[in-house]
Amino acid sequence: MNVSTALVLAAVAPAGGGLQDQLITFAPLIFMFGALYFFIMRPQQRRQKEQMERIKAVKRGDQVVMSNGMIGKVVRVEENEVGVEIAQNVTVKVVKGMLHEIRTRGEPAPANDSKS
């Protein structure tokens, strides 16, 4: 038996302690891992999944914010890259993963009615 196995066995089965003592000892640790998962890891996974879905749904004409803070308009969509117009007649190729926020184009404003 090596030293690490002996240390693990000593931690799991303290001398003179029963199963109930072991459960009481590990209950706070189990509770902390459960809280960590439900309050930190799970919401982060959900946000990441939603972000990936938004990136997959990017289309021509959408306004996007890139990870470096530049704002542009999507003019071309490829499998892994998008063409973003950052100024008039200036288009850059951007990897889809570097899109930070997708601001989809809004509905067209209604024309002014001349009903008076």
**pLDDT by residue (tens digit) across 15-50?**
556 788 888 888 888 899 999 998 999 999 999 999
Question: What's the Cα-to-Cα distance from 79 to each of 28, 55, 56, 57, 95, rounded to whole Å?
Answer: 47, 11, 9, 11, 9
Segment 58-84 shows an average pLDDT of: 93
Q: Which amino acid is at 116?
A: S
- Read off the pLDDT band of 106 (50, 70, 90): low
Q: Residue with structure tokens 């990936």?
A: 52
User: Is residue 113 scored above 70 in pLDDT?
Assistant: no
Residues 41 and 63 in one domain: no
- Please check whether residue 13 lies inside any domain of the structure: yes
Residues 14 and 44 in one domain: yes
Q: With contact defined as beta carbons under 8 Å apart, do 93 and 83 qualify?
A: yes
Residues 28 and 63 in one domain: no
The domain tally of the chain equals: 2
Q: With contact defined as beta carbons under 8 Å apart, do 21 and 14 qualify?
A: yes
Token couple for 94:
């951007």
- Please check whether residue 37 lies inside any domain of the structure: yes
* Domain span including residue 38: 3-52
- Read off the pLDDT band of 63 (50, 70, 90): very high
